[in-house]
Structure 1
């Protein structure tokens, strides 16, 4: 790991020489990246992941699991633990663990129930197994409280970055089945149900309100902005979307970015919030070992650029001096599939 002190996110432009150069569609590491995050989701432990060497090549300061680390889909914690052990034994991932700090959250398949939420009866046992996999100490607050959400502060000589990892499973209310053909779910009645639950909401608000970081990264396993595809999304609870937007805008937290996964596609979404001088970006990166290969299009009024339906991971390079964040979707052999620069 790089020499960091770890205490445990403008106008839109394309990549240019001030942030990063893309040579022959491959990564050219920028010298001015003060902090680098790599993240991804949807990883089958029994399918070869060809991206770990590419992740390491970007020299990230931290790797963030966005959920679906393994595909367990069981209420047997011993079976889930066994799959996590297989994942840890993969040499390429073991090398990442030895060189880079790893943090993250779960989604439905490693949680144990497809599209599952608060109703999953084995969630407490599954939580402990997840924390074991993440090497969370026995005296960590997550060992006693409900949910796997957590906050991390990274201080460098150039600036400070905060990462707030959410749990969109443990407390999430039941979804509303869709009456439309081709859609699984639809928005429920406004004001009914929750994504985060009361305790986690209070924690998130406190963390954002108190943040003095130059950038604040919020990790959500499911998409926040894209809301018309009929699958899981914050949009199934529209009042919760409004609440998070208001919480972010009123907190005064600087440089807020949302990272998400789940969908087996990658895309950038953007929304302008009242009272904020920069747009809120939702960077979706999914999946690592398998993707929505039959993707032929879906509505997303917030989308920037094209959808990527190829195996990839997400990369963010933060420059504290210029207040720019370079974002890339990277596939095997370091090929850059999509890119974006946001100034804060």
Structure 2
């Protein structure tokens, strides 16, 4: 009797386990992060999502002005090995058109929490006027997590800045590094990286911005690993894997996260200042480097090839600031001079560096007799603590552009062909303009 009783109990438990598994499989997966609108081109765009379990994901989309025609992406199976992440490609779009989209998980439509739209870039030929466009930018985004933060006053805050960014209706946003702020509990495992990205993107203020504005990104040390990290970091391959998995840039180098994209008549060079970097304190070898030779050659050759009106160069730390402090490029003078020399030899016009890291905002200008001016637009911080460089005497800072509070930037490119203009603006967290500068490019 006891033996039969035990067998019956085992059978009941097995039945319950099978029933629970069937119920779990019958339920569709849920989103834990996203949707995030990634890159846009003339013929395709990408939507990033992360689910809570293995699932089948499909993107459904239609043109806003012609909603009768519905298109679908290829089906992607989310897997635990890649954090249940899917990058869904809208491959049936047409230049200049805007689209509304939905997500299907395991065949069921996910109820949208926010407006979900994306766009295809506008097409123009040599004789036509390029499209006007704008993009938001910023760096140093910290989201508090009390149990893993330094005790005391919270370092992050004013997350409503993302609502203010959305209110400016940029075509895309460019994240300039220190986008997630890895903690000591994060950077020594894939589990830690997955946790930090998920936690960072879990605040409700980011949802509307992510769902309808295209996103591009570079990294700095707090996306890479330890503070001031360099190529000796033992988990750098994992850091690279996680960055490429979580961001929707249109391309990446095979080694490192650098790449490029175009929007209108502008080209963006997204540089990697960590994967090949000599340690800041290592003076024993030479030449010391940030980009490394392979990335440097790619960058210079790309500048030489580019026919874009504007060349925006995004890199985590300040480039032009002459003060050899913290992680400014002035602390690596050989490579900095090497880059400047290449720009001068090539006579490259309209180069604007876009930088972060410093926890304050400023516009730097290098203007030398007989040479093309070079700008460095530093925008920081978004939601982390701010810092005022009161002791720095920066001879290249454009008067009136220093901002020592949380803020974001907006760059607007407009005007007819041959008469293009660049408007740089800085806003506080509520969206109030702090300053603006109009730049006229060299024809």
Same-fold call, TM cutoff 0.5: yes
Are 2:96 and 1:96 equivalent residues in the alignment? no
Alignment partner of 1:176 is 2:273: no
Partner of 1:150: 259
**Residue 166 of structure 1 corresponds to which residue in structure 2?**
271
Q: Measured at CA, do residues 84 and 248 of structure 1 come closer, stay the same or move farther in structure 2, by a change above 3 Å?
A: same
2:137 to 39, 42, 45: 39
Distance in 2, matches of 1:141 and 1:258, equals: 19
Q: Which residue of 2 aligns with 1:21?
A: none
Choose 1 or 2 for highest CA Rg.
2
1:35-88 deviations in Å (ceiling 9; x for gaps): 212111101133442211111122112211100011114332321221111223
Cα shift readout 1:104-152 (whole Å, capped 9, x = no counterpart): 1111111111011111111110111111110458xx554xx21111100
Q: 2:437 aligns with which of 325, 340, 344?
A: 340
Per the alignment, in what secondary structure is the counterpart of residue 80 of structure 1? helix
Match of 2:351 among 253, 256, 261: 256
- Residues of 1 paired with 2:369 and 2:277: CA distance? 27
- Contact kept, 8 Å, 1:266 with 1:284, in 2: the verdict is yes
SS in 1 for 2:319: coil
Whole-Å separation in 1 of the counterparts to 2:390 and 2:355: 21
Counterpart position of 1:29: none
1:64 is aligned to 174
Residues of 1 paired with 2:389 and 2:370: CA distance?
36
Alignment of 1:118-267 (within 5 A): 118-135=231-248, 141-142=252-253, 145-155=254-264, 160-176=265-281, 192-228=287-323, 230-267=325-362
Please give the secondary structure, in 1, of the residue aligned with 2:398: strand
Q: How far did residue 162 of structure 1 move?
A: 0.5
Say what the alpha-carbon RMSD is for the aligned residues. Answer: 2.6
Distance verdict in 2 for CA 1:100–1:76, change over 3 Å: same
Contact 1:171–1:194, Cα closer than 8 Å, also in 2: yes
The range that moved more, 63-72 or 292-301, is 292-301
Task: Report the Cα offset of residue 273 of structure 1.
Answer: 4.7
The answer to whether the aligner puts 1:82 opposite 2:119 as a matched pair is: no
Stretches of structure 2 lacking an aligned partner (at least 5 in a row): 1-36, 46-129, 145-155
1:305 CA displacement: 1.6
In the superposition, relative to structure 1, how do residues 258 and 45 fare at CA in structure 2: closer, same or farther (>3 Å)?
Answer: same
Instruction: Indicate how the Cα distance of structure 1 residues 130 and 141 shifts in structure 2: closer, same or farther if over 3 A, else same.
Output: closer
Deviation at 1:332, TM superposition (A): 1.9
Q: Distance in 2 between matches of 1:325 and 1:244?
A: 23
Change (3 A) 1:265 1:3: closer
Q: Which stretch has the larger CA shift, 118-127 or 91-100?
A: 91-100
Deviations 1:260-303 (A, max 9, x none): 000000001110256534x1110001101123346534121111
Q: After the TM superposition, which of the residue ranges 56-65 and 92-101 deviates more from structure 2? A: 92-101
Equivalent position of 2:396 in the other structure: 302
Deviation digits for residues 16-35 of structure 1 (CA, Å, limit 9, x no counterpart): xxxxxxxxxxxxxxxx9812
More deviation, 116-125/266-275? 266-275
For residues 62 and 41 of structure 1, the distance between their equivalents in structure 2, rounded to whole angstroms, comes to: 15
- What corresponds to 1:19 in structure 2? none
The TM-score, its normalising length taken from structure 2, stands at 0.63
Distance 1:118 1:244 in 2: 20
Highest RCO, 1 vs 2 (Cα 8 Å, sep ≥ 6): 1
Name the structure 1 match of 2:224.
111
Post-superposition Cα deviations, 1:194-230, rounded to whole Å, max 9, x if no partner, equal 1101111111012111101111100010000113152
CA shift in 2, pair 1:271/1:7, >3 Å: farther
Q: Does the aligned pair in 2 maintain the 1:75–1:113 contact within 8 Å?
A: no
